[in-house]
Chains A and B, each alone.
Chain A
């Protein structure tokens, strides 16, 4: 395959290729998850998370190709764990607890470009996601796209998300808020 080791690691984490059967399980899992998010089934979505989950959504930056300079920490829109995600889910699912989602956003999550490998940590999955979002106060559809790096782990109940890193594509987010998950 073309590319050196660092390029390949950027494209896909190290690990063994998935069997067709495992790839199908990953594919079905991500589609189930995206439906939960699109339909506002947040408690079911929360059930798809490992209690050890880390959930990050990062902003990109435009940097000089020859002399990039970063400062401070990562520029995160989300940096959450199981407890804080639980509070977000309660906020979203308790009637009257957030005007940002009452009436609820109409949204759709399109997940594509799925690839995965298995290693000692679990199943590492790379995908692209496009979220189309319509608010009652902003009827023109808003769009958020990201590249996602997930680690899925096997549990007796099936696959669960142990970590998610979503790298957004917009330096300036063209959204009034992120009252939804990526």
Chain B
């Protein structure tokens, strides 16, 4: 039975693209979460770090991918590698710091030593024993592929995965608007913030794919307090701004400036000429007219940029936020949250952008606080034995799916309203496709 308000739990039927619905169980079921770890997270390219976090050979940072610790290292050869952060001897977590610089990594338990390339250099055993246990050939468990785009380091555990360029595909056009818009590129403003909310990772990924309607109901008041934009105006802009289904699970929305606003309103005038040098005409047009842009790269890397001010003397300052949604369990997610800024920007601007970023989209952010509350409330509504039998509703897609925007300047298929739910739902449709690979359903 796939009719509305009927249980639907079998793989391949979690998302009903035609009906515009999905099972609530996908947000709470531990079996589905376990399957996701194999089908989605072990197969996809996952964001690890920004190159400016590890600029020198020997620099490293540690990360969590789901419940797996990962060590990201720049080697003596300048190459960036990523390893499962565990000693091959007893599985002990090898590096227990958040960031560091070293020539080797020494296991805290038995003292096995690894080079920056992950190769075992020494054990504590006598030579004849070491030879027998294969000391010279043992290496850390390495991610199958690691590559960068625009300073963004991604890795995948799947050696058969397509290249990163292929995986990101057309979304690179939009990533450029966030992170590849000047010749020098971006830098992180600091280490990532981390916090945990009690709800499924997909709720964050979907919200940033992105959920237009919530921006009016949830963020309307703080938008009014900070920018003095009346809620009705925000609502109209959201209704009249595009949602883009980029393809392969990547999706975004744009909240466009009203026609009367000048180009690049909210951006630093000093940086605009650099954007014009770096971006193509279509990208320039989208950057110039976009007040807010929000995107998720499948499965769990998300972006948001907007311009906000917290006093009546300073013009709005843009912040650029990059984050991942790490699936700790079916009902628990850890956010890793970075702020980026153009390397060429003035120090004063970098500080302003940093302050605006943490006041808006961060654990203490005035926008983020309401999102996390909504996701926790969804978790409450979806996790029970009765609630999980029912469905979530994306039926607005039925109205908009046959109304693509013709001649949209960017790649993908754009729809005329962020209220269409088209881009958000497309992430779920792709998720189901990936989850169904190799299954009988």
A80 proximal to B (CB < 8 A): yes
Contact with A along B340-369 (1 / 0, CB 8 A): 000000000001001100110011111011
Contact of B96 among A62, A137, A175 (CB under 8 A): A62
Contacts A69-B59, A78-B358, A173-B195 given: A100-B369 contact, CB under 8 Å? yes
Which of A57, A69, A70, A78 has most B Cβ within 10 Å? Answer: A69
For A78, the chain B residues whose CB sits under 8 A away are 358-359, 364
Decide if B102 touches A171 in the complex (CB within 8 Å). Answer: no
Tally chain B residues at the interface, Cβ within 8 Å.
52
Q: 13 pairs across A/B with beta carbons < 8 Å?
A: A63-B98, A64-B100, A70-B191, A72-B187, A72-B190, A75-B190, A76-B354, A77-B193, A77-B362, A99-B373, A137-B376, A175-B363, A176-B373
Check B190 against A99 for contact (C-beta < 8 Å): no
Are A71 and B188 in contact (CB-based, < 8 A)?
yes
Contact of A177 among B188, B194, B195 (CB under 8 A): B195
Assess whether A71 is in contact with B363, with CB atoms less than 8 Å apart: no
* A97 pairs with B221, CB closer than 8 A: yes
Q: Is B282 an interface residue (CB 8 A)?
A: no
List B contacts of A172 (CB < 8 A).
Answer: 194-196, 334
B229 within 8 A of A: no
Contact of B98 among A61, A73, A77 (CB under 8 A): A61
CB of A72 within 8 A of CB of B191, answer yes
Closest Cβ of chain A: how far from B113's Cβ, in Å? 15
Given A79-B355, A87-B310, A173-B195: A73 and B366 within 8 A (CB)? Answer: no
Name the contact of B354 in the complex, choosing from A79, A174, A176 (C-beta under 8 A).
A79
Cβ–Cβ contact A76 & B358, under 8 A: yes
Q: Does B380 reach chain A (CB closer than 8 Å)?
A: yes
* A87-B369 contact, Cβ under 8 Å, with A67-B100, A67-B102, A68-B100: no
Interface set of B (CB-CB < 8 Å, partner A)? 52-53, 59, 96-102, 187-198, 218, 221-222, 225-226, 310-312, 334, 351, 354-355, 358-359, 362-366, 368-370, 372-377, 379-380
The segment from A34-42, A43-51, A88-96 found at the interface with B is A88-96
Give the docked Cα–Cα distance between A70 and B368 (Å): 26
User: Out of B52, B351, B364, B370, which one reaches A98, CB within 8 Å?
Assistant: B370
Given contacts A175-B196, A178-B369, contact A64 B364 (CB under 8 A): no
The answer to whether B100 touches A99 (Cβ under 8 A) is no
In the complex, chain B residues whose CB is within 8 Å of the CB of A64 = 97, 100, 102
